[in-house]
Amino acid sequence: MQQGLVNFTGMERVIFGQAARDALSAEVAARDARRVFLLASGTLNRETDAIAGIREALGARYAGTHDHMPAHSPRSAVIACANAARAAGADLLVTIGGGSATDGGKAVTICLEHDIRDEDGMEPFRTRVDAEGKRHFPDYAAPAVRLIAVPTTLSGGEFNARAGVTDTRVKLKQSYIHKGIIPVSVILDPAITVHTPEWLFLSTGVRALDHAVETFLSLDANDYTDGAMLQALRLLGRGLPAVKADPADLEARLQCLMGAWMSMTGIVTGSRLGASHAIGHILGGSAGVPHGHTSCVMLPYVLEWNAPVNADRQAAIAAAMGHPGKTAAEVVDRFISGLDMPRTLRAVGISDNQLPKLAENCLLDDWTFSNPRPIRTAEQVMEILRLAY
């Protein structure tokens, strides 16, 4: 008999298929926010009229914009945004951009609540992992300034009460987890994603695929999440190739956004993931590999390494993606290759001499310890890295 626990979040609503400026204007008015601060993609702000249109729609409620949040949300950028939002008197934060903006924004709300003004001030609030892989969560007050997210990529972080923030001084991506940092609302507008570079949209779509795969194969898998994960695989399996074939296909883009949302169902309700995500965190924080590319490179090899313990479960993944009878590793590999995404660690700039340190750092990530095939040593991580090299 299955046993488990499903946690629900503090998110109130998800709005999909509407223009971001209209949906956001209505949400802001409903919350009676008076000082709305935007954390926006620099490209969107400087090279398109999307952010200008949102500022215009907000009118007198608009308080300011910060448009610098580099990949993997470094602490320094989080602090800079928090200080700017504080100076503007923000009573609501809106993120418009990819996963780094979303994660950065969640961390900003912690900084606003606890008057954190420098990088060292963030240290007491991060999650720690002990030698047995057990997570330790600091106890602190939830932010009063809430967040609305308008994602432009498919990484799905807007649905999670977890912020990944990189301490560049030690080159590690660290977690900040608190149910109060999840966005109060999410707006899924396929039209605003047209401005996202193709490689970024598609690679983060593979990240969403990775969410669905590792949730379906999770030690915490259950009937509630299984159906959502298989449907996410179907949506992403159709939508991503369709967007590649026709970038103006808004229906396909919405399929991808909905698939990314569904792929987060297990993560946000408590499912632990495995080595693809754990290694991906380290590739990002320690080696600067783009968020989506980490899944493009690692997921098929992690599936191959895990197959001795869950090949029967993996068969359902291949079937959901339209290739029953084939191995999941092969199906996912061909799917990623069809999107013209990188497929090896060499292709994303990782050198052979980096592998041992990356493997050691993976033992600092909690999801290394919840991989379906147990991992307890750096040498076991090295086995996977060598497959991917």
What's the average model confidence in pLDDT over 151-180? 94
- For 306-340, the pLDDT digits (tens) are 999 999 999 999 999 999 999 999 999 999 999 99
**Residue 97 confidence (pLDDT):** 97
User: Which domains are delineated in the chain?
Assistant: 13-191 (3.40.50.1970), 198-388 (1.20.1090.10)
**Residue 236 confidence (pLDDT):** 98
% the chain with pLDDT above 70? 100
Query: Residues with Cβ < 8 Å from 182, sequence gap 6 or more?
Result: 9, 10, 11, 106, 147, 159, 160, 161, 268
Q: How does the average pLDDT of the chain come out, rounded?
A: 96
pLDDT tier for residue 172 given thresholds of 50, 70 and 90: confident
By mean pLDDT, which of 100-109, 132-141, 225-234 is the weakest? 132-141
Query: Residues with Cβ < 8 Å from 361, sequence gap 6 or more?
Result: 172, 282, 286
Identify the helix (H) or strand (E) that includes residue 302. Answer: helix 291-320
Classify 60 in phi/psi space as left (phi over 0), alpha (psi -120 to 50) or beta.
Answer: alpha
Q: Is the pLDDT of residue 122 over 80?
A: yes
**Residue 182 confidence (pLDDT):** 97
**Residue 17 confidence (pLDDT):** 96
Cα atoms in the Cβ-side hemisphere of radius 13 Å centred on 11:
24
- For 217-233, the pLDDT digits (tens) are 999 999 999 999 999 99
Q: Among candidates 147, 163, 143, which has minimal Cα distance to 155?
A: 163
| Amino acid found at 3 | Q
pLDDT tier for residue 29 given thresholds of 50, 70 and 90: very high
Q: Is the pLDDT of residue 382 over 90?
A: yes
**Residue 3 confidence (pLDDT):** 85
Q: Is the pLDDT of residue 79 over 80?
A: yes
What's the average model confidence in pLDDT over 343-366? 96
Identify the helix (H) or strand (E) that includes residue 105. Answer: helix 99-113
Reading the block at residue 97, the tokens are 């951009």
Q: Is the pLDDT of residue 134 over 90?
A: no
**Residue 384 confidence (pLDDT):** 98
Q: Among candidates 311, 309, 257, 287, which has minimal Cα distance to 361?
A: 287
Query: Residues with Cβ < 8 Å from 109, sequence gap 6 or more?
Result: 93, 143, 145, 146, 147, 180, 181
Between CA 303 and CA 282 the distance in angstroms is 18
Q: Is the pLDDT of residue 65 over 80?
A: yes
DSSP string, 236-271: HHHHHHHHHH-TT-HHHHHHHHHHHHHHTHHHHTT-
**Residue 291 confidence (pLDDT):** 84
* Interstrand relation of 162-167 and 172-177 (parallel, antiparallel or unpaired): antiparallel
What's the average model confidence in pLDDT over 65-71? 96
% the chain with pLDDT above 90? 93
pLDDT tier for residue 2 given thresholds of 50, 70 and 90: confident
Q: Is the pLDDT of residue 133 over 80?
A: no
pLDDT tier for residue 245 given thresholds of 50, 70 and 90: very high
**Residue 374 confidence (pLDDT):** 98
**Residue 129 confidence (pLDDT):** 82
By mean pLDDT, which of 2-11, 77-86, 322-331, 378-387 is the weakest? 2-11
What's the average model confidence in pLDDT over 295-300? 98
**Residue 244 confidence (pLDDT):** 98
Q: Among candidates 21, 26, 24, 37, which has minimal Cα distance to 69?
A: 37
